Amino acid sequence: MSAAIAGNKWFLVSSKKALGVVILIHGLNQNPASWKDMIPALKRWGYHVYLLCLKGHRGLTVDGIFKVNAEVWLQNFIDGYRDAESTFPLLPRMLVAYSLGGLVSTVAQGKLATTLFDRQVLLAPAIVTKPYTRLALLLSKFLPQIPSGSPEYYRANKNGVSAAGYRALFDLENMLTRLSQFDLRFHYFRPVLKCNFLKLR
């Protein structure tokens, strides 16, 4: 087993005949523990599960979410992917990513111009956000943290998302827009990434 990356967790199947590795990545201010119902199901189906936690969502320090940016999150993703790859190099790798996690993984793979996974399931990826969400950028000029309306059990940070977190989110969107093979005007992306939105089993 590889050395642990702070905040990331393995959930291993007992059988030596694992079918693959599933990497789970959360959304913005989503408590990674909210995957708790999905993890046992994936293990029952024969998959090792790697819970990848982006900085500011790990519960390690209170101020973590105030010290994030797009490059930090991209590096968190790459480090986590390499950890999973080196631990089980011969097994197929699948990705299940929600919202921000889908955006981070898409930008990272776009910048690398390659697909890192055998299968990818992106749940409401934040590749095109609603126009009103950009009000958060305006608020971030005056508020260090923007309150969240999501249920408290869902939040990684109970007081909301930092201004730095929202700036990182929109910086990632801008990176995605600049990638030449993507065209967000039509709300789809061209096949630099051959994402397979298929069931894992």
Q: With contact defined as beta carbons under 8 Å apart, do 154 and 31 qualify?
A: yes
pLDDT tens digit sequence for 83-120: 999 999 999 999 999 999 999 999 999 999 889 999 99
Q: Give the number of residues written for the chain.
A: 201
pLDDT tens digit sequence for 109-152: 999 988 999 999 999 999 877 777 777 777 777 777 777 777 87
Domain count, the chain: 1
Note if the pTM is more than 0.95. no
- The SS3 of residue 129 is coil
Considering the domain boundaries, does residue 194 fall inside one? no
Domain that holds residue 24: 9-189
Considering the domain boundaries, does residue 125 fall inside one? yes
Considering the domain boundaries, does residue 181 fall inside one? yes
pLDDT of residue 4: 59
Considering the domain boundaries, does residue 108 fall inside one? yes
Considering the domain boundaries, does residue 4 fall inside one? no
Greater confidence (186 vs 112) lies with 112
Pairwise CA distance, residues 78 & 58, whole Å: 16
Considering the domain boundaries, does residue 199 fall inside one? no
Considering the domain boundaries, does residue 83 fall inside one? yes
Which domain CATH number covers 149? 3.40.50.1820
